[in-house]
Structure 1
C-alpha cells in the first residue's frame, strides 16, 4: 500500500476531526500528528481519541514531536504519548544548532543522550526519526550521515525533505547517501527564501526524488501556498499522480 498523507501542522487552525476529514476527502491515508497544537505531550485522552478515529477510518499515522534536547524537553512524556497513540514513528529534532557550530563536548553529549533515547523508544517498539532540517545537526548530508553512524541504533531513521540552499542534483545525491535510513518524506514546494508555490510547479523535480526514494515510505504534504484548502486539494492530487497512488 502506498502511503500518502499530510502533516497536521499544515493546518494548525483545524481541529483533529477536520484534519481527518481533509485526509479522507482527498484520498489520503496517513497523518503526522503535530505535538504543538493537535496532540501535546501528555494529553493521553486526546491520543486515545486520535488513535480510535484514525483506525476507524483506516488512516496510518505518526507523531511529530518538537523535542529538541532542551532542558525542559521530556522525552519520556513524548514516548508515553506516542505509545498511547499507537504511533510507531516519532519525529524529534537534532537539537537547534547548526552542525558547524556545535562543540566536540556538546556533540559527544548529544550522541550519548540520543543512544539512551533510542533504547527507551525501542522498549516501546517505537522508531526515532530526526528531521532533515536547517539549523540542526542534520543540516547537511555529511553531518546527518555522521550523526546516524555515531548513534548507530537500528530504530533510528530520518525524515527527508528538500534542503534549502541545495540544488536538485545535491538533493538527489543526499537521497543516495541517506536512503537506507530515510523513513517518511515531507513534501512541499518552497524556494530558498521559504516562499511557497503550487506543487505542480515542481512536479518533475519531485518525480525525480520519488523515483530514487521508491514508494515504500510515507509522503506527507507539509504546508501549502497561502495555507489554502483549495491549494492543498490540488497539491494532494499532484502528489498522488507523482507517486501513482
Structure 2
C-alpha cells in the first residue's frame, strides 16, 4: 500500500499521484527505487496560481500528470472561466521550479516525452488533405528555455491510441515513433500490415533527415502464426 490517490502515473520507477483533501490538492512523487522513501510534494493550488494567475479564483479545474522523466514532470491543467483553457505545465520536481507554461491549442491524444535537454509534446489534432486527423508535434529546448515556433507534422504516422496503435519514445538522443498500421483505414483484423517506424534527432527535428524503417525490416507476422 503506497497511498491514496485521485489519479496516478507510474513511469521509470517513479509514482506520481494526485491526492485531494477537501479544497487542498497535492502532487506527490515517490521514487520506488530509492530506499529512503522520501516524497516530493507539490502544492497544486500554489503551482497553478503561479503558472496561470487569472485561474486562481477558479475552484473547478482538472489537473493530470502527463509525463515524468529526468526530474522533469509535465502536467495538464484545464479550467474554464469565460472560455475553456488548457495549459501544459513543465516543472522541475527536484527544485520545484516552474520551467515553462504553454497554452495548448488542443489536448486530443496529448502526449509528452523528454530527455534532460529536450521536451516534445504532440496531439492528434490537425486534419490533412485526405480528411484524416494527423499527429503534430512541438519541441521545447529545456537548456535554452526556448519553445520552437514551428510545428512538426507527422503526415505518415497512422494510429491514434497511445501505447496501443502508436507509441512515441526517446531513445539514445532520438525521438522514435512506431505504428502498426500503414493506412488510414479501419484496423486490419488479419494483421497483414507492416510496422511503420521513424526517428529523428532531438536537436535536429528536420523532416528531410528523418530516418524511416524499410518495409523489408518492418515485417509483421500473421495473427494466426505461432510465436
The normalised TM-score by structure 1 is: 0.30
Q: Which has the higher strand share?
A: 2
Q: Please say which structure displays the higher CA radius of gyration.
A: 2
Q: Which has the higher helix share?
A: 1
Higher RCO (CA-CA < 8 Å; seq separation 6+): 1
The normalised TM-score by structure 2 is: 0.32
